[in-house]
Structure 1
Amino acid sequence: MPTTRGWVVTIIGLILVVAWVGLGTIELGLAGMALILLVLVSMGMVAISGAVIDTTRQISPAEVHDGQIAYVTTRLHNPGRRHVRGIKSTESVADVGNARFDIATIAPGSAVNTRYRITCSPRGELTLGAPEITLSDRMELARRGCNGARSEDSIIVLPAVERLDHIPRGSGVDLGTTRTRPEPYLKGAEDFSALREYRSGDDLRRVHWPSTARFDEIMIRQMETPRETRGLILLDVRPASYEDDDAFERAVSGAASALTSLVKAGYLSDLWAGGTDTVDGSHIDLAMERLALVSRAKVGLLGLQENLRHRGGGLLVIVTGVADTELLALHAGLAPDYPTAVVLCAANSTPSALAAFHRRGVATAVAGPDESWVPEWDRMVNQSWQVPTRSNAAGKGG
């Protein structure tokens, strides 16, 4: 079809033809018909060219958290035997806009890469439309699509994660983390249970390299995990628990931070974030994707007790907005299985129900929708377990 320039030339040609009819000046008519013919010839040449551009797309990094930048690289390949000229590539990004590129020519058998960046926010699924490739004649009077195989892509934007140090241990001794001598590793002799950070004396044959690359710290496969190193992160998804959308997003970030920190600390952790079943935290990619796509929903928390109790272990982390009596009752039902508990509240002020949690020996932290979890977590750890944290350690150093 004609481009914008092609339509302009066609309209001028028609005006000249009309002027010829009205004024009788044949030169005007010839000029007008020549312009119209030029556009028609351009359309014909573009239509019969048979050129096709194949596209492949790569997104990096593969894992993106809320607020981080992703780079999208699209490879445009000319599989034909002739040069392809006048190429325009357009890629749409949902709720963001379009990325447009003009490419003068691609030689036969060659390829050209385009690249653009996206600030990924908020969390959730970000859809990238299939690349729209068109080509035109040298005068850009006509244009047609020339896409080969193409498809949409998506980026799963994970929640923002903060580092929460000094994860408390559940009651009892973690036999899986107190060994001081390297152990012989017999493939298939034990079942893989969890991951934890490397400690001096650990058998290097148990290094889990994918997780080591992910966390930028050496992670060890823990082949047997005692009951005391199990954990459960429970994200309250009830709409009434949150003052606004920002509070819920802060809670989701808190749940993601707690999950990541527990896994790094060696806990075999489950995640509940709505629905009837939990997600096994040892498959952290699936758990983080669940948090990336979670939304608020009406649910009865007390009906979850039977599903969660058989997964009992050492540490329970409840992440909510404004804690209430229903959460208090849920904790009472889970307390025999989770003797150590933490409640994280995303709220502008301290919920009154936290006093009842305190009387039960539950540690609590409150962070506003625009605040970081780290200072409140460190304060909670310092007050509840008397563990030196980043803030008071810095104060002593001064």
Structure 2
Amino acid sequence: MTSATLASADPTQNESSRSASAVREGGVGAPAGERRQRWADAAAPAAAAALRHVRAVAGVIRPIAWVLIVAAIALWIAGSVLGWWELTVAAVVITSALALCALFLIGRTAYDVSLDLNRTHVIVGERAVGALTLSNPGGRAILPSRVVLPVGAGRGVFDVGRLAAGESIEELFAIPTSRRTVLPVGPVSVVRGDPLGLFERVHRRDEPVDLYVHPRTVRFDGQSLGFVRDLEGLTARDLSRDDVSFHALREYQPGDDLRHVHWRSSARTGDVMVRQYEETRRSHFVIGLSCNPSDYRDTDEFELAISAAGSLGLRAVRDSRRVDLRVQGRSVPATTGKRLLDALSALEPSKPRDGDILDLTTALVSTVELASIVVLVCGSGVNPAKLRAACGRVPFGARVLAIVAHTGATPSLRRVGEADVVTIGELEQLPAALRKVLA
């Protein structure tokens, strides 16, 4: 019998032969690949931790220190290769200076930091006063350090002396405000460094606080803006069977509420007469503020327009009206005066592709259909034809007022179509201009 016949007759031998053949052909490759993957997975956290440590160490070295480190290495190499003792001495001096400066990083900076802003909402021109309290909760003294308080793009630096265990210190500061914005104050950073400024170790403490610098606003005299003279709102052209604004009498129709029967007229005419009403709606105050830079001559006009819109919105909120403030592409929160001013503090000029006052009015009309009063606020960059077109797109039945911010101009009032157009040169002129509209 041949070996081929024996192999086919013994299935156990066939299986073992196939397994040996698989081993010889590299079948162990799959388990080895799995082991390599497991090693890679196990090494990944260690590599990430090592990378974090390297970044932390590199983060304390300032640019000037990197220059000196490179110079020291170059001098060591040049001194040993060329045999120049002067280069080696220079390398020793630089290396010693680096080592001595690095010793200043040793020490604790575990302050307890408390940042307290007396007011987180101020008006342009006011100062925001705050206090920074540093305390040492440990049992050992903390060496002198610097405390950095970022305020927007700038920062304040406080030199803190040696702080004994359990001791605390308070630093007062004032933040001047010259423009409408939202300033992030903090986070407080404790800086340890050397006198030469080669190394700097920064520990961040506390959380940043937003300081809202509100636009300037002006108050209006009287109890109301005067545009809506009745308690419930403007009357509409639609007739209703039940409302508060009486319109006329008509004959009774099946389904009418008998409570609205006018009995005296019914007795006089012989027919049952019922009251008919005009629908009224709650005063809905809508402000459209253009943020397109092309609608303004300069940034001063833009700030004047924001202040005018904020003044009108605050007055409407105080009159318990529903207020909607819209800019290009979005609606600005205006449910309360604080939210309105906070949102205006963060308002920035829009992109030219977002449209001008005409596009803003079109979007406003499509989203706010039942407006009682629509106020459009823009700058002197809007020509009369475009302003007329924008006012003409306001829904029928809503009163339209346009306010044009034109710095340095004499206040004026003119009529454009069905809209009153008020031009103001400064914010204080707005109340008197509105009184002319109501006269």
- TM-score grouping bracket, smaller chain normalisation: 0.5 to 0.7
Within the candidate set 306, 329, 333, 2:393 is matched to 333
The whole-number CA distance in structure 2 between the counterparts of 1:330 and 1:271 is 16
Within the candidate set 233, 240, 246, 2:287 is matched to 233
The residue number in structure 2 matching 1:292 is: 345
The residue number in structure 2 matching 1:133 is: 190
The whole-number CA distance in structure 1 between the counterparts of 2:303 and 2:286 is 20
- 8 Å contact kept, 1:53–1:148: no
1:302 is displaced (CA, Å) by 4.5
Within the candidate set 108, 111, 114, 1:53 is matched to 111
Within the candidate set 376, 384, 389, 2:437 is matched to 384
Secondary structure in 2 aligned to 1:278? Answer: strand
Secondary structure in 2 aligned to 1:377? Answer: helix
The residue number in structure 1 matching 2:136 is: 78
- 8 Å contact kept, 2:374–2:401: yes
- 8 Å contact kept, 1:273–1:294: no
The whole-number CA distance in structure 1 between the counterparts of 2:160 and 2:150 is 18
- 8 Å contact kept, 2:308–2:430: no
Aligned AA (2:203): N
% same residue: 20
Q: Deviations over 1:197-242 (max 9, x none)?
A: xxxxxxxxxxxxxxxxxxxxxxxxxxxxx73422111112222221
The residue number in structure 1 matching 2:303 is: 249
The residue number in structure 2 matching 1:173 is: 230
Q: Deviations over 1:226-274 (max 9, x none)?
A: 7342211111222222111111111111111111121112222111122
1:142 is displaced (CA, Å) by 9.9
CA RMSD in angstroms, aligned pairs only: 3.8
Matches within 5 A, 1:304-383: 304-313=363-372, 315-322=373-380, 323=382, 324-339=384-399, 341-347=400-406, 348-349=408-409, 355-357=414-416, 359-360=417-418, 362-368=419-425, 371=426, 373-381=427-435, 383=436
Query: Please, which moves more after superposition, 249-258 or 147-156?
Result: 147-156
Change (3 A) 1:165 1:319: farther
The whole-number CA distance in structure 1 between the counterparts of 2:333 and 2:281 is 15
The whole-number CA distance in structure 2 between the counterparts of 1:125 and 1:141 is 32
1:143 is displaced (CA, Å) by 7.7
- 8 Å contact kept, 1:78–1:108: yes
Change (3 A) 1:66 1:227: farther
- 8 Å contact kept, 1:169–1:229: no
Change (3 A) 1:143 1:304: closer
The residue number in structure 1 matching 2:52 is: none
TM-score, normalised to structure 2, is: 0.57
Residue 218 (structure 2) pairs with residue 162 (structure 1): yes
The residue number in structure 2 matching 1:92 is: 150
1:49 is displaced (CA, Å) by 3.0
The residue number in structure 1 matching 2:322 is: 268
Change (3 A) 1:284 1:384: closer
The whole-number CA distance in structure 2 between the counterparts of 1:331 and 1:296 is 22
The residue number in structure 2 matching 1:149 is: 205
The whole-number CA distance in structure 2 between the counterparts of 1:105 and 1:232 is 58
Matches within 5 A, 1:187-206: none
The whole-number CA distance in structure 1 between the counterparts of 2:367 and 2:97 is 74
Secondary structure in 1 aligned to 2:159? Answer: strand
- 8 Å contact kept, 1:163–1:374: no
- 8 Å contact kept, 1:86–1:140: no
1:150 is displaced (CA, Å) by 4.4
1:75 is displaced (CA, Å) by 2.2
Rg (Cα) greater in structure: 2
The residue number in structure 2 matching 1:181 is: none
Q: Deviations over 1:80-122 (max 9, x none)?
A: 2111131322223335x43222222323234322221111221
The whole-number CA distance in structure 2 between the counterparts of 1:83 and 1:57 is 22
- 8 Å contact kept, 1:86–1:104: yes
The whole-number CA distance in structure 2 between the counterparts of 1:349 and 1:39 is 63
- Runs (4 or more) in structure 1 with deviation over 6 Å come to 36-39, 139-143
Change (3 A) 1:140 1:309: closer
Matches within 5 A, 1:1-40: none
Aligned AA (1:292): S
Aligned AA (2:306): V
- 8 Å contact kept, 1:170–1:229: no
- 8 Å contact kept, 1:127–1:155: yes
Gaps of 5+ in 2: 1-59, 63-84, 234-279
Secondary structure in 1 aligned to 2:125? Answer: coil
The residue number in structure 1 matching 2:162 is: 105
1:292 is displaced (CA, Å) by 1.7
Gaps of 5+ in 1: 4-20, 23-28, 177-225, 387-398
- 8 Å contact kept, 1:93–1:127: yes
The residue number in structure 2 matching 1:15 is: none
The whole-number CA distance in structure 1 between the counterparts of 2:204 and 2:437 is 61
1:77 is displaced (CA, Å) by 2.6
- 8 Å contact kept, 1:86–1:136: no
